Amino acid sequence: MTYYELEVDGVRFGVEIKSDSDDENLFSLALDGKSYHASLSYVNKNEVSVMLNEKSFNVELVDEGIDFILLRINGEEFKIARKAGREGQRNSSSMEELYSPLPGKVISVLVRPGDAVKLGDEVVIIESMKMETALRADVDGVVAEVLVKKDDVVKRGQKLLSIRV
């Protein structure tokens, strides 16, 4: 399970995402406690089609920064603020865990245990469907463990590394 805290138009949302099966395109999510079942299919590098509780949504990544994502959902744009860390999910040892958001092959691991990282630093690069995705640290901290290496094949939701906050 992966937890995100998002802010859209000044309103905060907690979103939990977990895999429903071995099929990496099927998952469930809870948005502020309400559950949804979803499936997705990739349209192109920056666009997916999402079927959410039998409703279809076209989601396109328009722009992305360290502290925001700009999405176009069915033609309407939404700027989503990224919040540092996953405040509700931190355990007592203050570790942040980075999970793969998609299935693919690890192209590069840019950090080692003991490395200091800052919010937004690239830490792992994954290739999926011939497109590279840079995964970034979502907190300032020190890399505690790295669980993958170059050329590893990873599943969506697989733990890649931990950062001590």
- Mark which of 18, 48, 82 sits at the end of a domain: 82
- Mark which of 51, 82, 113 sits at the end of a domain: 82
pLDDT in the model for residue 51: 86
| Overall size of the chain counted in residues | 165
pLDDT in the model for residue 42: 78
Question: Quick one: 73 and 7 in the same domain?
Answer: yes
pTM of the shown model: 0.51
Both tokens assigned to 144: 């505690």
- What CATH number corresponds to the domain at position 26? 3.30.700.30
pLDDT in the model for residue 85: 44
- Mark which of 31, 47, 82 sits at the end of a domain: 82
pLDDT in the model for residue 32: 63
Question: Quick one: 97 and 141 in the same domain?
Answer: yes
Domain around 110: 91-164
- Tens of pLDDT along the chain (165 residues) come to 566 666 666 677 667 677 666 676 777 777 766 788 888 887 877 788 888 878 888 888 888 766 677 888 888 888 777 654 444 444 444 788 888 888 899 999 999 999 999 988 999 999 988 889 899 888 888 999 999 999 999 988 788 999 988
Question: Quick one: 40 and 70 in the same domain?
Answer: yes
pLDDT in the model for residue 40: 81
Question: Quick one: 96 and 158 in the same domain?
Answer: yes
Structural domain count, the chain: 2
CA–chain centroid gap for 106, Å, is 15
pLDDT in the model for residue 66: 63
pLDDT in the model for residue 7: 66
